[in-house]
Structure 1
Amino acid sequence: MAMTSALLQFKQSFQISEEYFSFLCDGASFPKTESWNESRDCCSWDGVTCDLLNGHVIRLDLSCSQLVGNFHPNSSLFQLHHLQTLNLAYNWFYPSSIPHNIGQLRNLRHLNLSNASFDRKIPTEISYLSNLVSLDLSNGFGLQLDERTFETMLHNFTNLEVLSLFYVNISSPIPVNISSSLRYLDLSYTNLRGVLTESFFLLPNLETLKLGNNDLLKGVFPKIHQSNTLLMELDISYTGISGELPDSIGTFSSLNILSLYGCQFSGSIPDSIGNLTQITELWFSSNRFTGHIPSTISKLKHLTSLDLSDNSFSASALLQFKQSFKVKSEYSSCYTSFPKTKSWNESRDCCTWDGVTCDMLNGKIPTEISYLSNLVSLHLSNGYGLELDERTFETMLQNFSNLEVLSLFHVNISSPIPVNISSSLRYLDLSYTNLRGVLIESFFLPSNSLETLKLSDNDLLKGVFPKIHQSNTLLMELDISSTGISGELPHSIGTFSSLNISNLQELRSIYLYHNNFIGPFPASILNLTHLEFLDMSTNSLSGPLPSKEPSWICHTTH
């Protein structure tokens, strides 16, 4: 009876409200406590599990239960001393703090308070739960964990296998001594500071390590001398970690996901990357990698996502050149002379230095990239110096039958516009690629999944805008600005009259500026009721605008 009373008292301390949860829990939230009543044994209630031998409540799963209200510091929940699992994720307890009495539940093995809108400081008493195997406080946007409590937790939780503190404000040095039992560790967005050391990679059971979005994490990627790690996912994206990626990265033979984007890595991507034969996702964008894309990447047969965009030359050669000379103004005969090299330093990208213009990436994309037949997404955008030969381009499009995202913005392809593209493609960006040829109807056929098509700034693309005879395309963004496409815009641009809800009437953006379009403004564009941006400037369109003013007219450039 005591357990029933405690649970009913807990139920009565909250309201049920669906409005907070319509976008959470994949639509699977429901009020578990609503059915709780004394006419049934509490062990049969939704979310409640009891020990079959002694009848004690050992598990309480009220995740996604639409609970709203203040969590009382002396909640009756803390009378359930035999609890081993407590899951209150995806409820709304704001602005309550996690109660100090949480430390009374000494038998807890699994505690999940993620996405529950708890606020303020996490109590020291949470570190008393020394039997914990998993602790999830993730998405605790207002939660703060002081350095001492964090250290005590890591010291006391000797059986801990899963720790997720994503978005908890720790503002602490990165831990050095952590439990060897850990399998999953997420300290992303926690304001960690310090240097990433080798100790993380020597943990015998660690499979997932997420340290991303901690810009006070510095230093270089440690050289690993021992390769028997079980690590399957490593994310240090958007940290201050810099320097060269060591050859020893190739010893992480179990890795499935490697996320290094938004760091300060420089030098070449090591050939040993080809040893990561289990890898499915490589995210290397927005660094300062130089040199060629290693051909060993073709060994990565399981790769589904590859992003090498936004990388650049390092500054070492230019700095060496600078150091070879002294600057003296008296020797100059130029009225406008100034010491351009004086401002050169490693704190800024060399491409922003006075007198320097960069080829941001360089070299030919290896044919071997076309062997990655399992790719779902490929990003090589902003590859200003990258070249992709016509044959490799054709082979890629033929082999990548599962490809959904392809971004080659600013890669020099110098190839005819492709005719046959994968029907699985949702996003295609071939802007600034020196494509040539004629835009044809195949891009707009209903068999395609294309939602975004970007072909802008290819002045060798010619012909007229194709007349579309079938309308049930998923296209939401179309950009063919600054091409050589000319002639009249056909009435069919707005007459995609299929009753299918996902037709071109779903278009959000059309960019047709700086072409050679002539003739009247097509009134059928008014049928595009979801249109938000339309730019048709710098053409030779003539005649009056439609008399009926569309809702998006404020966004339109004439």
Structure 2
Amino acid sequence: MTSIFLQSPHNIGRLTNLRHLNLSRSYFSGKIPTEISYLSSLVSLDLSSLLVYRLQLDQTTFETILHNLTNLEVLSLYAINISSPIPVNISSSSLRYLNLEFTNLRGTFTQSFFLVPKLENLKLGANDLLKGVLPKIHPSNTTLLELDISNTGISGELTDSIGTFSSLNILNLKGCRFSGSIPDSIGNLTQIRYLDFSYNHFTGHIPSTISQLKHLTYLSLSSNSFSGELPDIFSNLQELHYLYLSNNSFISSFPSKIVSLTHLECLDLSYNSMNGTIPSSVFSLPLLGLLWLNNNRFSGLPDELKTNPTLVRLFLSHNQLSGSFPQSLSNLTNLSILDLSSNNITVDEGNQITFPNLKVLMLSSCELKDFPHFLTNVKKLQALDISNNKICGQIPNWFSGIRWDNLYYLNLSHNSLTGHLPKFHFHNIGYLDLKFNFLQGPLPSSVCNMNYLQSLHLSHNNFSNSIPSCLGSMSSLKVLDLRRNNFTGSLPPLCAQNTSLRTIVLNGNQFEGTLPFSLLNCSNLEVVDIGNNAINDTFPAWLGTLQQLHVLILKSNMFHGPISTCQTTFCFPKLRIFDLSYNQFSGSLPAKVFGNFKAMIKLDTGQIKYMGPSQLSLYQSYEDSVSLVIKGQDIELERISTIMTTIDLSSNHFEGVIPKTLKDLSSLWLLNLSHNNLIGHIPMELGQLNKLEALDLSWNRLTGKIPRELTTMKFLAVLNLSQNLLIGSIPQGLQFNTFENDSYGGNLDLCGPPLSKQCETSDPSHVPQPLEYEDESYFFSGFTWESVVIGYSFGLVVGTVVWSLVFKYRKPKWFVEFFEGIYPKKMRRSMKRAQRRRT
């Protein structure tokens, strides 16, 4: 049968006597043939796909299947792209099982399915375009055993009619948009075993009638807006295995009667406002394997933990637990995961605690002042997090000498560690995080022995010397973050034998030389940030061949020359952050290069996501971060959203006109072309950048009027056109009514609000002539008023000479070299301060 569908799919309609057709879990793609709806004898049809939306089913064929196949009892179209509304009429009176999950159903949810007399299983989950409300159900249908409408757009209040489904075993409303209270009629679902109302907007109290659901094994009410005291209704649910009540607003003490639930395996009360102590009896639950109590206000940790040797996972993070690390925890001989993060816990070095089966230990954001010495007794550790504590001094020899062959995750970040990085013996480590410490010296060559390393974070330390060349040939490495250190020398041949690297952040070091061409081997590269170094090179147009590159930051180096275009057809197709500021680039603005930025041209209207591998390990995810000038301020973004788009070419030597083709970058948020030698008019076409939030064209030689078309940019929050040669009245309307004088300062022939100069006092025939600045670094691109004041520190005479030279004549080269040689840093700081005041 499979071969017929593959070779001649349209011939399948000839099999009119076929009763069962199962092509599920296949890798077919393309359009499902209409002829499949001719199989009138079908009793079961399963076309479920392993790959979402690889198969398409048109609306007509879908409706025909539900209307004509009257013998059909089982229909599963899981993960097939139907992209049509739910049919109003369904004639298949024999239908018992219907699975339409992940089918891109849309439109308004109707009661048509509830009118099918024999329907037992209805699964419509993961169709977020499916809207409407849950219709009032009449008791005519008592056969339904499963109703799953999770992760859809169905909203409104849950009506009392939900109680008419007295035969339901499974009710899944997770991730919808229901509001209001849960009706008392929920207690009529006496056969229910699985009930999930999580991630909605339910309010009020949990109805007491839930205590009548004696067959319930799974109950989740997490991530709603329930409030008040937690009702004592769970002791009757003796079959309950899983209870999730997290992320609400319960304020009561721990529900002590919950200890009577002898089958309970998982209890989650995290992210509430519960208070008091945790009764020791909770640890005597025979089958309790998972306990989440984090982010409450529990104040004590029971000593009687030894009563539950079967406890496997214990989560008590984000509470107000205090005191020393409990000795009694060592009695939990089967404990595998222990999370006490974000508490006021210290470690008594006298404790001889042993954890024979401990694999994960999380003690971040506690009050630790030393490495816990009991770690010498832990032999099977896979993950250790003692970050964000008060540990100072050198990493002890006993710690670096431990041989944890299975250690995969180690986080020592945000402490006060000093000295050199020792030689670790963790050869299987995948995630090493040492950022925000005071470690110094060279990076030891032992890092080359970490053959499975995926993520290396050494940022914000004092490491020096060159980095080991082996980092360029580690086949597993995905993230290399060495920012804000003192590394020197040339960049090693990164990706020399490696194509896994996706993030390279070397910002804020002292690297020099040129960019290694070996980066071309990094086919998965998404982020390149080498800003604030001393790289001396021309524009690396060859990086445009990296089809996954999203972020390119070269700012504050010694790059020079024009911006050349790459020779490939698809050049920088996914680039969204492009920062070349504070370099020595010259020539005209690269209009052809801008035309390649497809990700800035096509507006991404999808859900906001953040860059970085979603999960590098079982214990820690990673998200990219960069430092950008946003609205006049240097801001370090801890996360990069997938809709952030910026171009910063400021503080270079670009000349010529602003290209009109910038208008095509319709998703651009930030554009900074300030401190260059640009001439000509401001293109009125820039007004088409309707997503732009910040526009800085200051400190250039732009002429003409401010285009009225710029007033149509409704999201524009920051505008800086100061220190140009603009003329005429300032246009008014929308965002332009919010800008102050600083946006226009230094343009002597501008008039009208917000400036005090009235337009009628100007001579309309007067057109200002460009100042005769032949030198490329003319006055306004290199000096501020603060730098002029510096001249007075040499005395009144020298200051007077400086003043006359500045304002009477063009700036001589000896003058530029003298002052820029002595005060480059001060001048740059003053420019930044002036810019911050303006924005």
TM-score (structure 2 length as normaliser): 0.49
Q: Which residue of 2 aligns with 1:42?
A: 143
Q: Which residue of 2 aligns with 1:340?
A: none
1:193 matches 2:320: yes
Q: How does 1:348-387 map to 2 (within 5 A)?
A: 361-372=439-450, 374-387=452-465
Specify the SS of the correspondent of 2:186: helix
Q: Which residue of 1 aligns with 2:651?
A: 514
Which 10-residue stretch deviates more, 197-206 or 489-498? 197-206
Distance 2:132 2:344 in 1: 42
Could you tell me the percent identity over the aligned residues?
23
Distance 1:290 1:177 in 2: 44
Specify the SS of the correspondent of 2:195: strand
Distance 2:198 2:260 in 1: 24
1:466 matches 2:564: yes
Q: CA deviation at 1:392?
A: 4.1
Distance 1:429 1:441 in 2: 15
- In structure 2, relative to structure 1, the CA distance for the partners of 1:165 and 1:106 (3 Å cut) is same
Picking from 269, 283, 287, the partner of 1:179 is 283
- 1:250-277 C-alpha deviation (Å, 9 max, x unpaired): 6555555444444434344454486444
- For structure 1, list consecutive stretches of 5 or more residues without a partner in the other structure: 1-15, 19-23, 49-54, 313-360
Q: CA deviation at 1:111?
A: 1.9
Q: CA deviation at 1:299?
A: 0.6
Picking from 471, 483, 503, the partner of 1:405 is 503
Picking from 230, 243, 246, the partner of 2:369 is 243
Q: CA deviation at 1:146?
A: 2.4
Distance 2:575 2:376 in 1: 40
Picking from 67, 88, 91, the partner of 2:197 is 88
Specify the SS of the correspondent of 1:449: coil
Taking only aligned residues, the RMSD between alpha carbons, in angstroms, comes to: 4.2
1:219 matches 2:346: yes
Picking from 675, 696, 701, the partner of 1:557 is 696
Distance 1:39 1:392 in 2: 71
Picking from 389, 409, 413, the partner of 2:467 is 389
Question: Is contact 1:413-1:435 (8 Å) kept?
Answer: yes
Which 10-residue stretch deviates more, 184-193 or 194-203? 194-203
Question: Is contact 2:499-2:524 (8 Å) kept?
Answer: yes
Q: CA deviation at 1:193?
A: 0.4
Q: CA deviation at 1:362?
A: 1.3
Specify the SS of the correspondent of 1:394: helix
Question: Is contact 1:129-1:157 (8 Å) kept?
Answer: yes
Distance 1:486 1:291 in 2: 43
Specify the SS of the correspondent of 1:299: coil
Larger Rg: 2
- In structure 2, relative to structure 1, the CA distance for the partners of 1:96 and 1:482 (3 Å cut) is same
Q: CA deviation at 1:496?
A: 1.6
Distance 1:66 1:503 in 2: 27
Q: How does 1:137-148 map to 2 (within 5 A)?
A: 137-140=245-248, 143-148=249-254
- In structure 2, relative to structure 1, the CA distance for the partners of 1:297 and 1:152 (3 Å cut) is farther
1:448 matches 2:448: no
Question: What is the one-letter code of the residue matched to 1:417?
Answer: L
Question: Is contact 1:188-1:210 (8 Å) kept?
Answer: no
Distance 2:334 2:503 in 1: 34
Distance 1:273 1:146 in 2: 47
Question: What is the one-letter code of the residue matched to 1:401?
Answer: T
Picking from 208, 217, 227, the partner of 1:109 is 217
Question: Is contact 2:417-2:437 (8 Å) kept?
Answer: yes
Q: Which residue of 1 aligns with 2:270?
A: 166
1:525 matches 2:666: no
Distance 1:221 1:468 in 2: 61
- In structure 2, relative to structure 1, the CA distance for the partners of 1:404 and 1:539 (3 Å cut) is same
Question: What is the one-letter code of the residue matched to 1:231?
Answer: K
1:291 matches 2:407: no
Question: What is the one-letter code of the residue matched to 1:369?
Answer: V
Distance 1:120 1:245 in 2: 41
Distance 1:381 1:479 in 2: 21
- 1:115-171 C-alpha deviation (Å, 9 max, x unpaired): 34433432233466565432222332xx2242343x554x44554332333322234
Q: Which residue of 2 aligns with 1:334?
A: none
Q: CA deviation at 1:294?
A: 3.7
Specify the SS of the correspondent of 2:518: coil
Distance 2:667 2:265 in 1: 48
TM-score (structure 1 length as normaliser): 0.70
1:97 matches 2:234: no
Question: Is contact 2:179-2:200 (8 Å) kept?
Answer: no
Question: Is contact 1:266-1:288 (8 Å) kept?
Answer: yes
Distance 2:508 2:446 in 1: 20
Picking from 359, 367, 374, the partner of 1:231 is 359
Q: CA deviation at 1:509?
A: 0.9
Q: How many residues align?
A: 470
Q: CA deviation at 1:546?
A: 2.0
Q: CA deviation at 1:247?
A: 4.7
Q: CA deviation at 1:486?
A: 3.8
Q: CA deviation at 1:488?
A: 3.4
Q: Which residue of 2 aligns with 1:488?
A: 588
- In structure 2, relative to structure 1, the CA distance for the partners of 1:65 and 1:481 (3 Å cut) is closer
Q: CA deviation at 1:248?
A: 4.1
Distance 2:130 2:279 in 1: 36
Specify the SS of the correspondent of 2:578: strand
Question: Is contact 2:669-2:693 (8 Å) kept?
Answer: no
Distance 2:405 2:647 in 1: 42
- In structure 2, relative to structure 1, the CA distance for the partners of 1:135 and 1:498 (3 Å cut) is closer
Question: Is contact 1:511-1:534 (8 Å) kept?
Answer: yes
Q: Which residue of 2 aligns with 1:5?
A: none
Distance 1:128 1:412 in 2: 67
Q: Which residue of 1 aligns with 2:171?
A: 61
Distance 1:204 1:17 in 2: 54
Question: What is the one-letter code of the residue matched to 2:499?
Answer: S
Specify the SS of the correspondent of 1:453: strand
Specify the SS of the correspondent of 1:401: coil
Specify the SS of the correspondent of 1:439: coil
Distance 2:381 2:132 in 1: 40
Specify the SS of the correspondent of 1:492: helix
Distance 1:248 1:72 in 2: 49
Specify the SS of the correspondent of 2:353: coil
- 1:163-182 C-alpha deviation (Å, 9 max, x unpaired): 33332223445776753644
Distance 1:530 1:60 in 2: 44
Picking from 543, 546, 552, the partner of 2:683 is 546
Q: How does 1:198-347 map to 2 (within 5 A)?
A: 198-200=327-329, 202-212=331-341, 214=342, 216-220=343-347, 225-232=353-360, 234-237=361-364, 239-249=365-375, 252=378, 254-269=380-395, 271-272=399-400, 275-296=403-424, 299-301=427-429, 303=430, 305-312=431-438
